[in-house]
Amino acid sequence: MTSHNLTQYGFSQPMLQALIGLGYDDLTEVQKMVIPAALAGRDVIVSSQTGSGKTAAFAIPVCEQIVLNQRPPQVLVLTPTRELAVQVKQTITQIGRFKQIRCAAIFGKQSMQSQCNELRQRVHVIVGTPGRTFDHIEIGNLNLTEIAWFIIDEADKMLDLGFIDQVEAIINQLPFNRVTMVFSATLPQPVQTLCEQYMKTPLRIDVAEASPLHDKIKQCFCAVPENEKTGLALNFLYAMRPERCILFCNTRERVDTLAEEFKRTDWRWTSLHGGMEQRERLQTMRDFKQGRFQVLIATDVAARGIHVDDVSLVINVDMPFDNESYIHRIGRTGRQENSGFAISFVTPAEHGYLAGLEAYLQYKLRRQEPPSAQAVEQGKRLVTKKSRPPLPTGSADEQLTRDISRIRINAGRKEKMRPGDILGAVTAIPGITANDIGIIDIQATCSYVEIFNNKGDEVLDALIMAKIKGKNRTVRSVGFRDS
């Protein structure tokens, strides 16, 4: 049954179908406050805690209002990191799936040509980092004339990374008549100044969480010499045996050191840092999000790029370089309605920083003693390959796509294949209508089409025998993969 919390907004049936399939039985506070304002066309400045559901707060109203058949992009979302761009794209794709909304993520260290090819198609939403987005604007690959919604996500991080000038340069290329939404965990003065200059009488939304950070997350510190951090991290894991945990390090060298130790254990673990190839980083994030690993060893590249609701423990093996990074790290646990545990390792030289952090948080971290040898040994006996928790049945997105098939057709732009050619071939199949067809993606040498309502096998069987654009084509079923 659809909850009143969803029906009161008058969402279309495709939108309700996606939200129910994704488990949005109830909206979070930030979503309840932002969605009506966004649907009414208000500019908004939103300050909310990490893990509050702010991505969906802008993705839902934007997806609901997009004009499907309009060719130029209608939405531009700027994010400070590649990982966050991918996360936002995934959320928008999930929410807009049954409305056939196409979203593209553009960021550095990825083929410019492949991004250009994607932007030549009809794309409704662009999610990008400032540098690569501006590159596409400068060489004329990105048509901004129809941008109706402009969103800045993690505005405080944009400032920290020195992107504000690029953000401002992009804003100056946008249509004046647009809705602008700014989301940030904190609102430092330069971000406020940017908002005052480029927004029209914005509605300020400060979301006071029902459970403040220090109520949802048990925060403590453990005093430790620098050379004992690796062993202590493993001891805490054995003693606490979390289902999902992130170990944060300041350097890739520390990540590699911990990884070497984990190779000798029975934990399902993986690592993530900025020195990895982009494809490998994205695959690691997907695998951890989908529960294929219990432990992620990472630098701050994961602090804003992974939104996983059931991380029960965060360990700061190294104290972060600044207070806001601390908030974003520990915010990987205690998400939504869950509680969490965060332990920070503090060396003798870092007690002054700890005092400053406590003053900033207005919260005193409890001192945590190292786990006892008995607890550690008991944990080692319990944590074996046989005792590993089973792999998950699937993420919310995987559950949503269970009734959707994706078919690959062995012909693309080089053979002048068009979406209309595929649409015509599929709707010619008896019992198949346009409502059974999702996004059609034409690439250089192949094309993909989504089929809804459990009709994938039926369509696949028919296309094997049918002609598409006058020829028989090789077709096969493929899985859903994030770009």
Give residue-wise pLDDT tens across range 230-266. Answer: 999 999 999 999 988 999 999 999 999 999 999 989 8
pLDDT-based confidence at residue 291 (cuts at 50, 70, 90) = confident
Q: Is residue 394 part of a domain?
A: no
Length in residues, the chain: 483
Q: Are 341 and 312 in contact (CB under 8 A)?
A: yes
Q: Are 47 and 115 in contact (CB under 8 A)?
A: no
Read off the pLDDT of residues 119-134 as tens digits, 9 standing for 90 and up: 988 899 999 999 999 9
Q: How far apart are CA 389 and CA 294, in angstroms?
A: 9
Q: Strand locations in 55-178, DSSP E?
A: 75-78, 103-106, 125-128, 149-152
Q: Which of 387, 418, 436 is the last residue of a domain?
A: 387
Q: Give yes or no: residues 229 and 195 share one domain.
A: no
Q: Is residue 397 part of a domain?
A: no
Q: Give yes or no: residues 202 and 244 share one domain.
A: no
The token pair that represents 101 in the structure block: 């909304």
Q: Is residue 392 part of a domain?
A: no
What mean pLDDT is predicted for residues 441-470? 91
Q: Would the pLDDT of 396 be above 80?
A: no
Q: Would the pLDDT of 399 be above 50?
A: yes
For the ranges 40-44, 230-234, 309-313, 390-394, which has the lowest average pLDDT? 390-394
Q: Give yes or no: residues 431 and 303 share one domain.
A: no
pLDDT-based confidence at residue 340 (cuts at 50, 70, 90) = confident
State the residue range of the domain holding 309.
213-387
Number of domains the chain contains: 3
What mean pLDDT is predicted for residues 82-92? 88
Q: Are 46 and 57 in contact (CB under 8 A)?
A: yes
The token pair that represents 384 in the structure block: 């074996």
What mean pLDDT is predicted for residues 79-88? 87
For the ranges 43-52, 68-77, 219-228, which has the lowest average pLDDT? 43-52
Q: Which of 206, 239, 264 is the last residue of a domain?
A: 206
Q: Are 107 and 77 in contact (CB under 8 A)?
A: no
Q: Which pLDDT value is given to residue 360?
A: 83
Q: Which pLDDT value is given to residue 1?
A: 37
Q: Are 46 and 30 in contact (CB under 8 A)?
A: yes
Q: Give yes or no: residues 435 and 380 share one domain.
A: no
Residue corresponding to tokens 């909206």: 27
pLDDT-based confidence at residue 96 (cuts at 50, 70, 90) = very high
Q: Is residue 396 part of a domain?
A: no
Q: Give yes or no: residues 53 and 104 share one domain.
A: yes
Q: Give yes or no: residues 473 and 328 share one domain.
A: no
pLDDT-based confidence at residue 213 (cuts at 50, 70, 90) = low
Going by C-alpha positions, the residue among 333, 475, 338 that lies closest to residue 412 is 475
Q: Are strands 467-468 and 471-472 parallel, antiparallel or unpaired?
A: antiparallel
For the chain, the C-alpha Rg in angstroms (whole number) is: 24
Q: Which residues pair with 47 in a beta bridge?
A: 184, 206
Q: Which pLDDT value is given to residue 314?
A: 95
Average pLDDT, the chain: 87
In terms of pLDDT, which residue wins out, 243 or 397?
A: 243
pLDDT-based confidence at residue 25 (cuts at 50, 70, 90) = confident
Highest mean pLDDT among 10-14, 158-162, 197-201: 197-201
Q: Give yes or no: residues 382 and 448 share one domain.
A: no
Q: Give yes or no: residues 172 and 222 share one domain.
A: no
Q: Are strands 44-47 and 203-206 parallel, antiparallel or unpaired?
A: parallel
Q: Would the pLDDT of 39 be above 70?
A: yes
Residues 6+ apart with CB under 8 A from 392: 290, 291, 292
Question: pTM of the prediction?
Answer: 0.70
Q: Are 180 and 198 in contact (CB under 8 A)?
A: yes
pLDDT-based confidence at residue 390 (cuts at 50, 70, 90) = low
Quote the percentage of the chain above a pLDDT of 90: 54
Q: Which of 176, 206, 236 is the last residue of a domain?
A: 206
Q: Is residue 39 part of a domain?
A: yes
Q: Give yes or no: residues 272 and 294 share one domain.
A: yes
pLDDT-based confidence at residue 156 (cuts at 50, 70, 90) = confident
* Identity of residue 184: S
Q: Would the pLDDT of 388 be above 70?
A: no
Dihedral of CA atoms 213, 215, 216, 222 in degrees, nearest 10, equals 80
Q: Which pLDDT value is given to residue 389?
A: 57
Q: Give yes or no: residues 200 and 334 share one domain.
A: no
- The pair phi, psi for residue 261, each rounded to 5°, is -70, -40
Distance of CA 204 to the CA centre of its chain: 24
Taking the CA atoms of 356, 357, 360 and 364 in sequence, report the sign of the dihedral they define.
negative
Q: How far apart are CA 483 and CA 479, in angstroms?
A: 12
Q: Give yes or no: residues 348 and 228 share one domain.
A: yes
Dihedral of CA atoms 302, 303, 305, 308 in degrees, nearest 10, equals 90
Q: Provide the CATH number for the domain around residue 452.
A: 3.30.70.330
Q: Give yes or no: residues 360 and 407 share one domain.
A: no
Q: Is residue 409 part of a domain?
A: yes
Q: Provide the CATH number for the domain around residue 126.
A: 3.40.50.300
Q: Which pLDDT value is given to residue 309?
A: 67
Read off the pLDDT of residues 468-481 as tens digits, 9 standing for 90 and up: 999 999 999 987 65
